[in-house]
Structure 1
Amino acid sequence: MTEYRARMRDCTLFVAHVGMGSILQALEERKQMLLLPRLHSLGEHTTDHQLHTAARFRNTKGLLIVDDVLALHREMSRLIVAPLESGTAISNQASPELLRSISCWLEAARPRF
């Protein structure tokens, strides 16, 4: 296990940007998350795709998305004292059904000579 994964497993609050890798890893470990999207307008990213990700995950159990640094600081202090209820853990592997569906799609798309 990497040091990062060990720290993720042992933490009580996971604070990060609204990246899919961060979200998926925290959901796998059932960790409460406090997230702040990186913004193109502030030169933090090349696009505002994290705003779209934030909109998609805003109502996910165990995850809180804030819109600015002041809210991040306020919520960080609050969540240490009053943690969010976590949701159901997700698997770090694709389901057999998903793998079959992808395999069938790829097979159907393969050119026939």
Structure 2
Amino acid sequence: MIFVATGTQFPFDRLVRYLDEWVASNKADNKHSEAVFMQLGEGDYLPQHTQWKRFMGLEDYNEKIKQSSVFISHAGMGNIISAKDHGVPIIVINRQASLGEHRNDHQQEGLAWMAELEGVYTASTQEALYGLLDQRETLRAGKKSHDTSLTPLIDYLKSVL
């Protein structure tokens, strides 16, 4: 299963639409059989080709991550750590302030740095996201977050907080 989380603070209709269109296209071409589940938050766009919930409790959320072969998320540090803790590769896509998806572009600024983390794959465009999805079987998870490989992430968080 592919699990998609938009977060709860801001809508992320662009990500939801990208995934919904990808699923529809792959079903039409008989290329896609893996289930997709989305956590939508307060967005307006409702997917037509996937299962979804607006909000999930922490236990259900973590269970979806554990069950997933790939976790797709906004570029949030908490989700990166959760993916590492559960041994699941994560694709992060940044929100864009110019599209009303966030207050500023800190997610775009952190994307290059995030791409250096083991098990973290980044996409800033629909094409990049689809490319990663099409090769999802080759994506590998990073080490658990208690490993020292997260020291740069922790240092980065300290610098921006």
Return the TM-score normalized by structure 1.
0.71
Alignment of 1:6-25 (within 5 A): 6-25=63-82
Matched, 1:74 2:131: yes
- Deviation >2 Å, runs of 4+: none
Q: Deviations over 1:67-94 (max 9, x none)?
A: 1122212311221xx3322221113xxx
Distance 2:103 2:143 in 1: 32
Higher Cα Rg: structure 1 or 2? Answer: 1
Aligned residue for 2:138, secondary structure, equals: coil
Alignment of 1:78-93 (within 5 A): 78-79=135-136, 82-91=137-146
Q: Where does structure 1 lack aligned partners over 5 or more consecutive residues?
A: 92-113
Determine if contact 2:88/2:140 at 8 Å carries over to the other structure.
Answer: no
Equivalent pairs counted in the alignment come to: 89
User: Which residue type is aligned with residue 20 of structure 1?
Assistant: M
User: Which residue type is aligned with residue 85 of structure 1?
Assistant: R
Q: Where does structure 2 lack aligned partners over 5 or more consecutive residues?
A: 1-57, 147-161
User: Which residue type is aligned with residue 66 of structure 2?
Assistant: R
Determine if contact 2:119/2:143 at 8 Å carries over to the other structure.
Answer: no
Q: Deviations over 1:27-54 (max 9, x none)?
A: 1112111111001112111100102221
Determine if contact 1:32/1:83 at 8 Å carries over to the other structure.
Answer: no
Please give the root-mean-square deviation of Cα atoms over the aligned residues, in Å. Answer: 1.5
Matching residue of 1:26: 83
The structure with the greater share of residues assigned to helix is 1
Match of 2:103 among 31, 46, 55: 46
Relative contact order (C-alpha < 8 Å, sep 6+): which is higher? 1
The structure with the greater share of residues assigned to strand is 2
Return the TM-score normalized by structure 2.
0.51
User: Which residue type is aligned with residue 108 of structure 2?
Assistant: L
